[in-house]
Amino acid sequence: MDLIQSFSVDHRLIVPGIFLSRMDNVGTGEVTTYDIRLKRPNREPVIDVAAMHSLEHIIATFLRNDPDWKDDVIYWGPMGCLTGFYLILKGSRSTPEIFDLVLRAFKAVNDAQEVPGTAPENCGHYLMHNLGMAKWYAAEFAEYLEANAGNSEIFEYPRTERLVTKDGQRFFDS
């Protein structure tokens, strides 16, 4: 099987940031997947599961209610590795073009008085939330984004060249 695109990025070199993961053409037009990375993979502790769940609920609600973006939001959800989130939007925008949206979303977490959608009829694990920790992670990431807004490293995936021999063997050293 072919290695999927998100696994071709050298995770040893990823820093927190907003990255363009992939662009796809679907029946209704172009769709773009963004990697919203809060933690350095394999180097920092991952995001607490209950806080991650709360961030998912709060930010998904924020994005789907933002008057300028709500019609373009397809998906907001956590990465299985618990180092960040995926944001899928209709259309094609560069990562700096969505910077303000992402920053505002994470800043909005601080204003949340409760986590939306946490009743048993609304959530698959309604007791697994931590608003206080969600606010802490959101503030940490928002401060990082503001401090690094002019740094292209937070918008561009680090990539390593994968050399392939004539017989199809791949070398994965960088």
Q: Sign of the CA dihedral 115, 121, 46, 63?
A: negative
Structure tokens of 129? 């939330």
pTM: 0.88
What is the predicted pLDDT for the residue at 158? 82
Per-residue tens of pLDDT for the chain, all 174 residues: 766 666 777 888 899 999 999 999 988 789 999 999 999 999 999 999 999 999 999 999 999 999 999 999 999 999 999 999 999 999 999 999 999 999 999 999 999 999 999 999 999 999 999 999 999 999 999 999 999 999 999 999 886 555 566 666 655 543
Encoding tokens for residue 160?
A: 């390593």
B/e letters for 93-106, b = 16+ CB within 10 Å, e = fewer, are bebeebbebbbebb
| Runs of H (alpha helix) within 2-81 | 49-65
